[in-house]
Amino acid sequence: MSPSARSKVAPSGRSNDPPVLILTSLAAGPKHGHALLLDIEAFAGVRLGPGTLYGAIGRLEERGLIEAAGPDGRTRPYLLTTSGRDLLEATLAELRTIVDEGTRRLSRASQLASLGGEA
């Protein structure tokens, strides 16, 4: 989708889900909060607020999906746990299934439209 088309569509679904974005960022290696914000904005085009980020980090830690890799502080890095990696893999597979089905349906609709049929 082009950036202009993307900006006309209201964000929805799991692509903007803070926990998924955080797990995806941490899949590349440990990061502290500010580095997570920058990375998520770079790869997803989503700007999370600090409250959203740290609230999600707390819930992910409570669930054992991420863990702190150092002492408390501004640059405390977080890393993905095995459970977090497993959940991310399952979530991405689910999203891939939805993307594949949506792509197939769009292709069929385009083919029907080019033949003059209803989509």
Give me the domain span that covers residue 92. Answer: 14-114
Q: How far is CA 66 from CA 6, 28, 79, in A?
A: 30, 13, 5
Asked whether residue 72 is assigned to any structural domain, the reply reads: yes
Q: What is the pLDDT of residues 88-103, one digit of tens each?
A: 999 999 999 999 999 9
Among residues 39, 34, 30, the alpha carbon closest in space to that of 69 is found at 30
pLDDT at 11 over 90: no
pLDDT of residue 73: 67
Asked whether residue 40 is assigned to any structural domain, the reply reads: yes
Asked whether residue 52 is assigned to any structural domain, the reply reads: yes
Q: Can you give the CATH number for the domain in which 84 is found? A: 1.10.10.10
Other C-beta atoms lying within 10 Å of the C-beta of residue 73: 9
Domain count, the chain: 1
Angle of CA points 94, 97, 101, to nearest 5°: 145
Asked whether residue 9 is assigned to any structural domain, the reply reads: no
Of these ranges, 76-80, 105-109, 111-115, the one predicted with the greatest mean pLDDT is 76-80
Tell if the pTM clears 0.85, that is, is over it. no
Euclidean distance between CA atoms 36 and 29, whole angstroms: 10
pLDDT of residue 112: 81
Q: What is the pLDDT of residues 23-74, one digit of tens each?
A: 999 999 999 999 999 999 999 999 999 999 999 999 999 999 999 997 776 6
Question: Is the CB of residue 84 less than 8 Å from the CB of residue 22?
Answer: no
Asked whether residue 101 is assigned to any structural domain, the reply reads: yes
Asked whether residue 2 is assigned to any structural domain, the reply reads: no
Asked whether residue 8 is assigned to any structural domain, the reply reads: no
